[in-house]
Amino acid sequence: MPKVKVGDVAPNFSLPSQSGGTISLEDFRGKIVVLYFYPKDFTPGCTVEARTFRDNYETFKQYGAEIIGVSSDTVGSHQAFASECNLPYQVLSDTENKVRNLYGASSTLGLIPGRVTYIIDGNGVVRHVFSSQFNPKKHIDEAIKVLKTISSEVKQRASA
């Protein structure tokens, strides 16, 4: 299965969200997207990850980034999960794992859907890929670090 790598153009996709609509990656063209794949709603690690993204949501917004979570759970599960965790961002339902497979977001031990985060810049180019099944909070730290780098590059170009 081909994996999306740093420097690749992020493949477009459309998936149903917990808010009832369909979300496409191309809807966010021109914005930075933090796209994270996670194993399952309501599990301890995934709940910590979702809430840590939530708790840092304003920081992501300051960098002009949108957060999108994806798992194979149903829209109904996502509605309950997003409500219970008070998530201010979209959580998308990939019940057949088509987008997970498209991105090559690997599994752990071939059994547990992987926890993988992609940072996609405003031009649709993947700038960073981070995978860590057992350290969900590090996904947020990694994403913020990359957003700072992208922001610095933008400022440098603007002043040149």
What is the set of active-site residues? 46
DSSP 3-state assignment of 114? coil
- Residues 6 or more apart whose Cβ sits within 8 Å of residue 64: 31, 32, 122
Interior angle at CA 6, CA 88 and CA 8, nearest 5? 95
CB count, 10 Å around CB of 113?
21
Calculate helix-pair angle for 44-55, 136-159, nearest 10 degrees.
30
